[in-house]
Amino acid sequence: MIPDKLKPYRFIKLGRWDEYKNQKKQIKVFQPKNREELQKIIDSGWIPQAKRPQEFRWQLDRNYTYDEMEEWLSTHKENYGILNGKLRILDDDTKDNNLIKLFLDNFDKTFRVRNHLYFEFTNKDEKKIIFYDKSGEHCGELQGIGQQCVGPGSVHPLEEVYELKNDVDIIKIDYDKFCQVFLPYIPHKIKKVTKDFKKTTWTGDNITDIPITNIISLSGLNDMGNSCYQGSHPGHGSNGGMNFRVDTSNNSWFCYRCWTGGGPSELIGVMENIIDCSQAGSNCYSTEQGKKVIEIAREKYGLKKPEDQETLEPRGWALSINIQRLANRKGWLKCPKCNSSFEFNEKLGWFKCSCTKGGIKKFVELMKKNE
């Protein structure tokens, strides 16, 4: 099922073309007949799985050999992806296939699937390259290490097959020559995306509650109605100017080029270059990447540090007074404001109820004030 020319490479497990998942990880089957129907499904909160890796750590140890993937595909109807690294894939997003034409004018024919050209460099370079024309319009990209591309024979959410167009050997070319040929499309300095952060007073301890409009500005996006805004992706740009969609009603976003999306956490990762947009989704972070996203969310977006993570050492009055014993001795077991029972952290000298929380000093002041 997988072309023989791809035997040397590694593969990953993707989802079925007709399966969709929401943020609650519920799965549902849809079979849209056209892009309008597909758009409605996505707008309702269902993310297509056709291009999405289904296993965590797929860049590291959840990828497979040719034989392993062939065996898996023999009993599954899911799609599969090809892991980039040694293999480089040129993705042409121009209307007239300008990048493909430029490549074929200067190099031999190579393995091709749809508008994807497969090749290797003789001198190793694993960086991702984004191509722009003279006007700054995004034209495509050369995928780098840690990315993946949907394999030939897989099925698009609109039931279109990823057709193998050239089943020829995957050629090797010189990296320096490649850069010389594509120099008109490789800007010396890629303009950094200007993010118009809208300052708000939001604070909270749940990263999913950070307003997406605090992370990116809606300026330049088109108002599509029903709290939806669409336009060019603020990170990697857009060929047609409409590949990025934000839904402020459910605080989510979606990229139609990468078929990925999520909420504030995933958007922070993409905009801060912690992950590539093509990697965004459920369980997309390694432990270190997750820590970095949390750190940035606390620095920039008002995410609070949970009290049980602030320190394991007693502070202030808690050094000499046990808040739990004090409450039991005084009979201060319910909040006089909300009438809910207190929860106590003896190590930290903290309390909380339905309406407030704080340290032992605040606790004593609250109770004495309402005696």
The 10s digit of each residue's pLDDT in 319-355 is 557 888 888 888 899 988 888 888 888 777 788 888 8
Whichever domain contains 285, its CATH number is: 3.90.580
Q: Answer whether residue 190 is part of any domain.
A: no
Quick one: 257 and 118 in the same domain? no
In the numeric block, which tokens belong to residue 371?
A: 């005696």
In the numeric block, which tokens belong to residue 39?
A: 């758009």
Quick one: 283 and 248 in the same domain? yes
Report CA Rg, the chain.
26
Q: What pLDDT, on the 0 to 100 scale, is given for residue 194?
A: 39
pTM of the model: 0.60
**Integer Cα distance of 269 and 208 in angstroms:** 13
The crossing angle, in degrees rounded to 10, of helices 360-369 and 323-330 is 20
Quick one: 168 and 20 in the same domain? yes
SS (H, E, C) 139-197: EEEECCCCCEEECCCCECCCCCECCEEECCCCEEECHHHHHHHCHHHCCCCCCCCCCCC
pLDDT tens string, the chain, 371 residues long: the values are: 899 999 999 999 999 999 999 877 899 999 999 989 998 998 888 999 999 999 988 988 899 999 999 999 999 999 999 998 889 999 999 989 999 999 999 999 999 999 999 999 998 777 888 898 887 788 999 988 888 999 999 999 999 999 999 999 999 999 989 999 999 998 754 443 334 445 577 788 889 889 998 998 888 788 877 788 888 898 888 766 788 999 888 899 998 888 888 999 999 999 998 998 988 887 788 888 989 999 999 998 889 876 544 444 455 555 557 888 888 888 899 988 888 888 888 777 788 888 888 888 888 888 888 77
Total number of domains constituting the chain: 3
The H or E element spanning position 111 is none
Which structural domain, as residue segments, surrounds residue 262? Answer: 207-300
Q: What is the DSSP letter of 303?
A: B
Single residue among 155, 185, 215 that ends a domain in this structure: 185
The residue behind tokens 């995410």 is: 303
Q: Answer whether residue 202 is part of any domain.
A: no
Quick one: 312 and 296 in the same domain? no
Q: Answer whether residue 65 is part of any domain.
A: yes
Quick one: 275 and 347 in the same domain? no
**Integer Cα distance of 358 and 52 in angstroms:** 43
The residue behind tokens 């097959």 is: 161
Q: Answer whether residue 99 is part of any domain.
A: yes
Q: Answer whether residue 277 is part of any domain.
A: yes
Quick one: 30 and 172 in the same domain? yes
Q: Answer whether residue 247 is part of any domain.
A: yes
The residue behind tokens 């860049």 is: 59
The 10s digit of each residue's pLDDT in 29-81 is 999 999 899 989 988 889 999 999 999 889 888 999 999 999 999 999 999 99
Quick one: 136 and 263 in the same domain? no
Q: Answer whether residue 195 is part of any domain.
A: no
Quick one: 135 and 218 in the same domain? no
Rounded alpha-carbon distances, angstroms, from residue 352 to 32, 72, 348? 49, 51, 12
SS3 category, 88:
strand
**Exposure of 303 by Cβ count < 10 A (0-12 exposed, 13-18 middle, 19+ buried)?**
buried
Q: What pLDDT, on the 0 to 100 scale, is given for residue 304?
A: 87
Rounded alpha-carbon distances, angstroms, from residue 183 to 23, 56, 132, 180, 189? 41, 36, 10, 5, 12
Single residue among 251, 275, 300 that ends a domain in this structure: 300
Q: Answer whether residue 201 is part of any domain.
A: no
Quick one: 247 and 265 in the same domain? yes
**Integer Cα distance of 363 and 354 in angstroms:** 14
**Integer Cα distance of 153 and 3 in angstroms:** 9
- List, in order, residues 6 or more apart from 290 with CB less than 8 Å away: none
- List, in order, residues 6 or more apart from 306 with CB less than 8 Å away: 205
Quick one: 252 and 322 in the same domain? no
CA nearest 52: which of 92, 88, 86, 25?
Answer: 25
Q: What is the DSSP letter of 319?
A: G
**Integer Cα distance of 24 and 282 in angstroms:** 10
**Integer Cα distance of 351 and 365 in angstroms:** 13
Whichever domain contains 109, its CATH number is: 3.30.2250
The residue behind tokens 């309008």 is: 36
**Integer Cα distance of 2 and 25 in angstroms:** 29
Quick one: 163 and 51 in the same domain? yes
Single residue among 269, 300, 331 that ends a domain in this structure: 300
Identify whether the C-beta of residue 227 lies closer than 8 Å to the C-beta of residue 248: yes
- List, in order, residues 6 or more apart from 344 with CB less than 8 Å away: 323, 324, 327, 350, 351
Quick one: 35 and 148 in the same domain? yes
In the numeric block, which tokens belong to residue 84?
A: 């980039």
